[in-house]
Amino acid sequence: MAKQKKLVLNEGNINDIDKEYDTLTKITFNDGAYTEIYKKFKPEKVDVMLNDFASFIQDYEKHGGSVNNDKEFVKYLYLFIVQHFSTLVQGLPSEFASRLNLLDKLTNNRYVLGLEEHFDKDELQYVYTTIFKKIEALQKMSEVDKELKNQMREKIESMELENEDIIKKIMLGEDVADEQAVH
């Protein structure tokens, strides 16, 4: 275990730490081509990358795709890490089919694959930890949302209201057919 020391953040070291997030490191490949990577991943930039990744996954599923296994999930996540934390991949099209086509080609690109060993393992772990914390939080929020919705439904049903079906539709987004499916 490393020797413990008290951490105190002040103007000087806060600025130094912040500069680390903007520092690019040159990576030279065997053929002499080079790119740059960020050694440290700024938490705010990780959030931007994860939001971009989540939007991609939603679009992927809207277009009939499905991320069915960890390998596929990690493959696309890694491509977004490369896109956001290196200078290698830039200018991907916004149109989904073209973007997906290029991303799939990038999964077999030797430069992209070769970058992985150069990213700091702690930074990659930070991304994975952050995404799993976000997934866990979303699951908890979903559970709480379901519970609140059930409580609201029970309250509405216990009040003997004339327009119960209309109130449920407005308050819970339920149609009478939806309610019958629930009960």
pLDDT per residue rounded down to tens, the chain (183 residues): 678 989 889 988 888 888 889 899 999 999 999 999 999 999 999 999 999 999 999 999 898 888 877 888 889 999 999 999 999 999 889 899 999 999 999 999 999 999 999 999 999 999 989 988 988 887 888 787 788 888 888 887 888 777 777 777 776 776 655 444 555
Name, in order, each residue with C-beta under 8 angstroms of 107's C-beta and a sequence gap of 6 or more: 75, 79
Query: What pTM was computed for the model?
Result: 0.73
Question: CA angle at residue 21 from 131 to 78, to 5 degrees?
Answer: 40
Name, in order, each residue with C-beta under 8 angstroms of 47's C-beta and a sequence gap of 6 or more: 130
Residue whose entry in the numeric block shows the structure tokens 């930074």:
123
The pLDDT assigned to 48 comes to 94
Positive/negative CA dihedral, 171, 172, 173, 179:
negative
The pLDDT assigned to 174 comes to 65
The pLDDT assigned to 178 comes to 47
The pLDDT assigned to 18 comes to 85
DSSP string, 145-156: HHHHHHHHHHHH
What's the one-letter identity of residue 105?
Answer: K
Q: Provide the CA 152 distance to its chain's centre, in angstroms.
A: 31
Question: CA angle at residue 116 from 110 to 121, to 5 degrees?
Answer: 175
